[in-house]
Structure 1
Amino acid sequence: MGRKPKKSPFQKHGVLVLNKPSGPTSTDCLNSIKRELKQYKIGHAGTLDPLAEGVLLVMLGQATKLGPYLLGHDKVYTGSLSIGRTTDTYDIQGTETSTGDISEITEKMVENEILHWNDLTSQEVPAYSAAKHNGKPLYELARKGEETPVKIKSIEIFDAEPLEVSLPMARFRVGCSAGTYIRSLVHSLGSRLGCGAVMESLRREESRPFRLSEAHNLDEVLADPEGFEARIIPLADALPHWHKFTVSENMSKSIKNGTRIPVGDIAADQEIIEGERAMFLESDGTALALMETKQIDGKLLWVILRGLWG
């Protein structure tokens, strides 16, 4: 049996929008918060590579239950790349694997290739990634020098645009579906140009619905324990794009007992259809449960997706 997580009287419940610095892993950042601020129940939604910086959603306490509902949303990045070489990781932190002649490459060609990202519907998963094969992360196989299978995944790209091109460098902005590897986009650009390309830097501007303007720097968070709670988005507000309904004490007890609630008992004045999701709140405003509407025996009912009570 696994060890139960250590409990802390300082444990908070909610989402911290963190501005992850470039350098440490996402797990390193969480471990710092866990150790320094005694937040032993902690997780994150949507990891960032060590090189990358920007929005990292940190889930605290009961908010760790929100992971599946925070993970799948679109992301927006800005970054930079350089052409003329490749590495095994597709970024500047990897080992160089080739160099290419860029004498025939023009700035317009690079701009057009960045715009071409908008047409892509799939990409190759990097060998140095956390994607798994037979239960093992690909990066473990790659580090051992073992052959890594080629994995192709579906992606959606929108609003990809060049920001500045000054060869051999280029800056870009790109919006994409969750799980898209930006360094693979860069690698594919280099392959199409025939000279190679690597990602130089990357910043996540948005992990929708949260933006970098809402994020807190890691060093500031760790240096101000007394102000930590004020930086946290309460559990009840952690899914701002969902419906939110407050229920009575009696209905709260029914939901905790697993009772399905007729839609008309909660949102009689709203048009609610099958598949709608909502966060239900206790009468005092604390988060109670995540609910979803389903047709059961000809009736549209609210059913529990995830209980959020203690």
Structure 2
Amino acid sequence: MGRKPKRDPRQRDGVLVLHKPSGPTSAGCLTDIKRQLGQRKIGHAGTLDPLAEGVLLVLLGQGTKLAPYLSEDSKTYSGEFRLGICTDTFDIQGKIIQETNVDVTPDQVREAVDAWQDLTEQDVPAYSAAKHNGKPLYSLARAGEEVPVKTKPVTIHAAELLDVTLPVAKFRVRCSTGTYVRSLVHSLGKRLGCGATLTALLREESRPFGLHQAHGLDDVLNDPEHFPEKVIPMAEALPHWPRHRLTPPMAELVKNGTWLPVADAPDQLLGGSPGDQALLLDNEGGPLALVEAKIQNGQLKWAILRGLWA
């Protein structure tokens, strides 16, 4: 049995809200942080395409355990598209496959953006990481193989046209996680009959964190001394979840896998209702576990979703 790799003393635990620049891949940004700042254990809560910039939630150390709970919330984007052009990737970085005269009005563009809110599914771009028979679709497309048409469910919470100076338009959209904004633009172009391609995209929010909390990649990489100050600690990484600080005996029960009873009143320690989720902390304020209120043997208890103790 091999030895467990020694933990790099530089390794942090928590969430880094990164302002990813347009150009590099999300994976490339994570690789730079990993290599230059000694973050051996690193992950993310939803990538951005190379063209896109904005909020990328980088998960460090124990923070990687939070991925399912930070990835599931909505995202807000602002962006720009150009009518009259279609590309194979649905964005301006792809190969132009069609150019069409633009014969639409600003009101028609506004109506088409508003119509995003009626969508319940969308086509998955051929150039995407979605898989078919274990292979990413982009690998099939680059190899010249036939790419199957796949769809996925989406929810568009809000959409608005910010400005239009034909053939260019600017928009903002809040959507469910995993939504391909370039597919929204592509489908809009088809409905208008002139084609459209995404030319710029900014992720303003990956709930619960926004752009105002984000650190630039260069600032992160070029200032390793202050890197720890930029990392949101585990106990604060889910600010939208209620937190309960436990006594040492209660904390030991949780570490042993015990489901603690839910208190009757929501304002009490361990208070909650069926389906509620919460973060349990030890007596020192350190993270213990993510829990959800569930019925066990006829009693409402806090079911342990994920242990967070070191």
Task: Give the TM-score normalised by the residue count of structure 1.
Answer: 0.96
How far apart are the structure 2 equivalents of 1:160 and 1:43?
Answer: 29
The answer to whether the Cα contact below 8 Å between 1:245 and 1:266 also exists between their aligned partners in 2 is: no
More off after superposition, 261-270 vs 109-118: 261-270
Correspondence 1:69-218 to 2 at 5 A: 69-102=69-102, 104-218=103-217
The answer to whether the Cα contact below 8 Å between 1:247 and 1:266 also exists between their aligned partners in 2 is: no
CA RMSD, Structure 1 to Structure 2 (Å): 1.9
3-state SS of paired residue (1:305): strand
How far apart are the structure 2 equivalents of 1:301 and 1:159?
Answer: 36
Residue 126 of structure 1 and its aligned partner are, at CA, apart by: 0.5
Residue 185 of structure 1 and its aligned partner are, at CA, apart by: 0.5
Residue 159 of structure 1 and its aligned partner are, at CA, apart by: 2.2
What is residue 272 of structure 2 aligned with on the other side? 272
Residue 263 of structure 1 and its aligned partner are, at CA, apart by: 1.3
How far apart are the structure 1 equivalents of 2:216 and 2:7?
Answer: 25
Aligned-pair identity in percent equals: 58
- Relative to structure 1, the CA distance from residue 113 to residue 265 in structure 2 (aligned partners, 3 Å threshold; closer, same or farther) is closer
How far apart are the structure 2 equivalents of 1:3 and 1:96?
Answer: 52
What is residue 19 of structure 2 aligned with on the other side? 19
3-state SS of paired residue (1:127): coil
What is residue 30 of structure 2 aligned with on the other side? 30
Residue 86 of structure 1 and its aligned partner are, at CA, apart by: 0.5
What does the per-residue CA deviation read over 1:28-71, in whole Å, with 9 as the maximum and x for residues that have no partner? 00011111110111000011000000000000010100000000
3-state SS of paired residue (1:289): strand
3-state SS of paired residue (1:91): coil
Residue 7 of structure 1 and its aligned partner are, at CA, apart by: 2.9
How far apart are the structure 1 equivalents of 2:8 and 2:126?
Answer: 39
What does the per-residue CA deviation read over 1:234-267, in whole Å, with 9 as the maximum and x for residues that have no partner? 1001001111001111111111111111113996
- Relative to structure 1, the CA distance from residue 80 to residue 268 in structure 2 (aligned partners, 3 Å threshold; closer, same or farther) is closer
What is residue 8 of structure 1 aligned with on the other side? 8
How far apart are the structure 1 equivalents of 2:226 and 2:294?
Answer: 41
Residue 269 of structure 1 and its aligned partner are, at CA, apart by: 2.4
3-state SS of paired residue (1:33): helix
What does the per-residue CA deviation read over 1:114-139, in whole Å, with 9 as the maximum and x for residues that have no partner? 11112211111111111111111111
What is residue 53 of structure 2 aligned with on the other side? 53
How far apart are the structure 2 equivalents of 1:305 and 1:79?
Answer: 36
The answer to whether the Cα contact below 8 Å between 1:13 and 1:61 also exists between their aligned partners in 2 is: yes
3-state SS of paired residue (1:274): coil
3-state SS of paired residue (2:47): coil
The answer to whether the Cα contact below 8 Å between 1:157 and 1:177 also exists between their aligned partners in 2 is: yes
Q: List gaps (5 residues or longer) in structure 1.
A: none
- Relative to structure 1, the CA distance from residue 98 to residue 268 in structure 2 (aligned partners, 3 Å threshold; closer, same or farther) is closer
The answer to whether the Cα contact below 8 Å between 2:85 and 2:195 also exists between their aligned partners in 1 is: yes
3-state SS of paired residue (1:117): helix
The answer to whether the Cα contact below 8 Å between 2:234 and 2:287 also exists between their aligned partners in 1 is: yes
The residue type paired with residue 298 of structure 1 is: G
How far apart are the structure 1 equivalents of 2:280 and 2:52?
Answer: 35
How far apart are the structure 1 equivalents of 2:265 and 2:185?
Answer: 49
More off after superposition, 233-242 vs 149-158: 149-158
The answer to whether the Cα contact below 8 Å between 2:264 and 2:272 also exists between their aligned partners in 1 is: no
How far apart are the structure 2 equivalents of 1:204 and 1:67?
Answer: 18
What is residue 249 of structure 1 aligned with on the other side? 248
- Give the aligned length: 309
The residue type paired with residue 233 of structure 1 is: I
How far apart are the structure 2 equivalents of 1:278 and 1:252?
Answer: 14
The answer to whether the Cα contact below 8 Å between 1:156 and 1:176 also exists between their aligned partners in 2 is: yes
More off after superposition, 267-276 vs 165-174: 267-276
More off after superposition, 78-87 vs 149-158: 149-158
The residue type paired with residue 162 of structure 1 is: L
3-state SS of paired residue (1:54): strand
